[in-house]
Structure 1
Amino acid sequence: MSSERTGSGEPSRTLALLWGEPLAPRKGPARSITVTQIVHAALSIADESGLGAVTMRAVAERVGVSTMSVYTYVPGKPELLDLMVDALYLGMERMPWRDERWRDRAVAVAESNRSLLETHPWMTEVAALSRPPLGPGVMVKYEHELAAFDDAGLDDVDVDAALTFLIGFVQSHCRAAHDAERATTDTAMSDAQWWEANQPILARAFDPEVYPRAVRIGAAAGEAQGAAWSADGAWEFGLERVLDGLAALIER
């Protein structure tokens, strides 16, 4: 898993790029590409081949310039990563809130974030809650999602905490789902095939007299879900528990 995270670049340079401000006066011929083209190229590479494939050289080849030329637009990969994440946040679909209950709005927030992370699974490795790229994408996303808790009766600090709690669940779930999908890809075996291949030794090792709950409950859960772990089942159960917890806070 990548050790890169949003917020790891040089702050002043990153913020200048995020808000469209030039890094420094530049002399010479007019530029042939834009920062937006570089970001879109990096996003395409990440979606096609994973974040590890995003290098300044690969981005340069994608946009048709030299690697050194790319560095005159974006200082390095840490700053590029922030631009990539912010661009995806900016492009999220946001329908105006109307007369929905706070719980319905929270579900919409969770589902939209889940959709984003499923479409761009590499984001589960890099999107840090503590240091998001503070660009226009983050700000419009944050403003919209905070408004989901309007009229919930929470003070400002609790609204921020409630949103962070909700998004944290989404990120954790999507990271687990991404890891499960990678396990299937890496082993070239589905979960059902993996359990079937290991069934003989498991039948001998899992003594119901020694592990009565594990055997009984594990079998029941596996039969109900069709696997040891179900992404959709975990999502539905977990999201409802998150909302129940917030409801307890709001009703109190």
Structure 2
Amino acid sequence: MTNPTDASGQPPYLRIVAEIRQRIIDGELAPGDRVPSTRQIARERGVALATATKALTTLRLEGLVETRPRTGTVVAGTFAPATPPRKPTTPAPVPAPEQELTLDRIVRTAIAIADAEGLPALSMRGVAARLGVATMSPYRYVPSKDDLVLLMADAAFGEETYPADAPEGWRPRIELGARTLWTLYRRHPWLAQLGSLTRPLMVPNLIAHGEWMLSALDGHGLDPTTLFDIHLLIYGHVQGLAVHLEWEAHAEASTGQSEDQWMDSRAPALRELVESGRFPTFAKVVGSFSEGPDGTDGYDLRLDDLFASGLSALLDGLAPLVEGS
């Protein structure tokens, strides 16, 4: 069995914490700089992924690092080298009196954790630690993590509402509804991971977005099934693209590689497929990205642009059905 401590009797994760902390204090790692990923720490220091994860979690609880979507773990922007970091023995933030704990604070804290670290990082214990209260305190307000996630979703979907004076025409209203949902998914990437078309979330503030979309389509002579099918097609387009926001953020945080870096590392495999002769159209299209007259070098995947162009094409195709009824 591997000895859980080093020669000094210190657990390996604390030694890793101390080394990275010192690099931050010395200014070697400045605010916004990426710190080694869990896989990089595990590979370079010969420790388990769990040990590397525990080290980064400790640094995060000390306030020295933070996890940013699509970036990974970086030095916290609020860190000042002149300020000594908290000791690992007191990792929790400044405690708040138990009497100040409210359901709203619990939900907002949980949302902040999910925004920064992804939904898999969320736990009732973690929420309690972030709030500086006893581990079981949040359970007085919400019975389980599943219930908490539903409250988080409802709160997040409720951050954007619609104007009382709706735009004229079904299409401008649908476009506003779709852009509003995309904005929320952009703000909270984990939202798109919840529910599906077959098992939707039953929370009031998501239904409010559905109400806006359905009311935009109502009054055009569509039968209820067709009307609801169109609503689901539009919602599926928005959510279907939005799921990639969280997937990419999680991939960057876990591998330490940006999207471009990951693609660069797969270049030999891609080249082999292109040069195999088995996929001529694929080879022609992929080859054009590095040979185009506009100086294009590689395909630049832009989810925001795909959302906008896909929505436009979808509404163009639906227009005869909606307006011809």
Which TM class, normalised by the smaller chain length?
0.7 to 0.9
* 1:159 counterpart = 2:224: no
Give the superposition deviation at 1:250: 1.4
Q: Which residue of 1 aligns with 2:116?
A: 48
Give the superposition deviation at 1:187: 4.4
Q: Which residue of 2 aligns with 1:235?
A: 307
* 1:106 counterpart = 2:174: yes
**Matched residue SS, 1:206:** helix
Give the superposition deviation at 1:31: 6.3
Q: Distance in 1 between matches of 2:186 and 2:279?
A: 36
Contact 1:86 1:133 in 2 (8 A): no
Give the superposition deviation at 1:192: 4.3
Aligned length: 223
**Of 264, 287, 290, which residue of structure 2 is paired with 1:219?**
287
* 1:81 counterpart = 2:153: no
* 1:141 counterpart = 2:213: no
Q: Distance in 1 between matches of 2:177 and 2:289?
A: 28
Contact 1:38 1:59 in 2 (8 A): yes
CA pair 198-53 structure 1, distance change in 2 beyond 3 A:
closer
Q: Which residue of 2 aligns with 1:26?
A: none
**Matched residue SS, 1:109:** helix
- Structure 1: state its 5+ residue gaps: 1-29
Structure of greater Rg: 2
**Matched residue SS, 2:299:** coil
**Bigger mean CA offset, 169-178 vs 239-248:** 239-248
Instruction: Please give the per-residue CA displacement for 1:154-186, whole angstroms capped at 9, x wherever unaligned.
Output: 233332222221111111111134434544554
CA pair 47-34 structure 1, distance change in 2 beyond 3 A:
same
Q: Which residue of 2 aligns with 1:123?
A: 191
Give the superposition deviation at 1:135: 3.8
CA pair 225-34 structure 1, distance change in 2 beyond 3 A:
farther
Q: Which residue of 2 aligns with 1:95?
A: 163
CA pair 186-219 structure 1, distance change in 2 beyond 3 A:
farther
Q: Which residue of 2 aligns with 1:35?
A: 103
Quote the RMSD (CA, aligned, Å): 3.0
Q: Distance in 1 between matches of 2:180 and 2:161?
A: 8
Q: Which residue of 2 aligns with 1:168?
A: 236
Code of the aligned partner of 1:165: L
Code of the aligned partner of 2:299: A
Contact 2:194 2:201 in 1 (8 A): no
Considering fraction of residues, name the structure with more helix: 1
Code of the aligned partner of 2:243: R
Contact 2:114 2:122 in 1 (8 A): yes
Contact 1:97 1:148 in 2 (8 A): no
Task: Give the alignment's TM-score, normalised by structure 1.
Answer: 0.73
**Matched residue SS, 1:67:** coil
- Structure 2: state its 5+ residue gaps: 1-97
Contact 2:118 2:246 in 1 (8 A): no
**Matched residue SS, 1:66:** coil
CA pair 94-184 structure 1, distance change in 2 beyond 3 A:
same
Q: Distance in 1 between matches of 2:194 and 2:124?
A: 17
